[in-house]
Amino acid sequence: MESIEGIATYPMISLLIFFVFFAVLFWWVFTAKKAYIKEVSEIPFQDDNQKNKQL
């Protein structure tokens, strides 16, 4: 691996992508509206009839 030129940039790019993804996710979690979070969290408890009516 040491013989490949520029191989050291790939781990840095991977770390940057990882950091940016989780930073954006962290920002979204803290800025999301409580009503939206509550609505989405109740989706698994709705029966099929209610889902079909909303579509």
Position 1 in a domain: no
> Total domain count for the chain?
1
Give domain status of residue 3, yes or no.
Answer: no
Residue 2 lies in a domain: no
pLDDT at 52 over 70: no
With residues binned 3-state (H G I as helix, E B as strand, rest as coil), the percentages for the chain, rounded to 5, are 75, 0, 25
- Is the pLDDT assigned to residue 15 strictly greater than 70? yes
Query: Is residue 31 in some structural domain?
Result: yes
Q: Structural domain of residue 35, as residue ranges? A: 9-54
pTM, rounded to two decimals: 0.57
Please, which pLDDT band fits residue 50 given cuts at 50, 70 and 90?
Answer: low
Contacts of 7 (CB under 8 A, 6+ apart): 1
The reply to whether 15 falls in a domain is yes
Residue 4 lies in a domain: no
